[in-house]
Structure 1
Amino acid sequence: MSDDAPDPVELGVELLAHLEQESLSVAEAMDRIETVTTNPGVQREILDTAAMRGVIDREDGLVRPTSGGTYVSFDADVVVREGDFSCERCGAAISTGHFVQFDGGELGPFGSTCIRKVLGRE
């Protein structure tokens, strides 16, 4: 990882902090985390760090965000760029990439359908 590359743990924790559902199964949360990293050790670290910081509660196979109301705004927090991209969620070739702007860095690109799934709008 280069010095200016975003920390995947920080990005994953921020993603979990901005979940729009009251609760998700651990499997659903992992589907979101996989957009940040496919490394199982880093995925566990994201969940553990988020729980340790009080960003999420984990109980009975569910993940519940504790921050309520800190959702990602499509207008303010998602940047759309034209180019040749591969969606970070499904791998499809896309010409319009949607990038989520977090304090810890940028997450994406995603296609128009996948950005909605990653953010819990579908």
Structure 2
Amino acid sequence: MPDREQVELGVQLLERLEHAELPLSEVIDRIETITSDPATTREILDVAEMRGVIDREDGVVHVASGNFLSFQSEVVEKKGEFTCKRCGASISTGYFMQMRAGDLGPFGSSCIRKVTGRE
């Protein structure tokens, strides 16, 4: 059974993507920062589609919101010893995305740009 908190966090992540459309593989890459469980990934995509956050067609995900993450107020930088949630690298500065369902991170400087779609 998919974890409800992970599903909610995943849906909120998809709401905040910077691109109007992305290949499904790139969307799954971002979801994998939350979970690697295929059932939870499917649940995130299904719930996001039911809520009108995304549309899926022929391996492409269309993002409806256009409500981008603000780096000034919604991404927090913390110093410490962290492991990047996306690439697994050891980092001394972690970037955390603050969303209603909770914080997502830490990410290194290049991975936070990739996850949010700024790169």
1:36-47 superposed matches below 5 A? 36-47=34-45
2:115 to 84, 106, 118: 118
Instruction: Tell me the alpha carbon deviations over residues 33-90 of structure 1, each in whole angstroms, 9 at most, x when there is no partner.
Output: 000111111011000110011110111111011112x100110000100011000000
1:1-122 superposed matches below 5 A? 7-68=5-66, 70-122=67-119
Q: Distance in 2 between matches of 1:94 and 1:48?
A: 33
- Cα drift, residue 98 of structure 1: 0.1
- Cα drift, residue 103 of structure 1: 0.5
Percent identity of the aligned residues?
Answer: 59
Q: Distance in 1 between matches of 2:54 and 2:15?
A: 7
- Cα drift, residue 22 of structure 1: 1.3
Secondary structure in 2 aligned to 1:72?
coil
Secondary structure in 2 aligned to 1:21?
coil
Letter in 2 for 1:55: V
Structure 1 residue runs of 5 or longer lacking an equivalent are 1-5
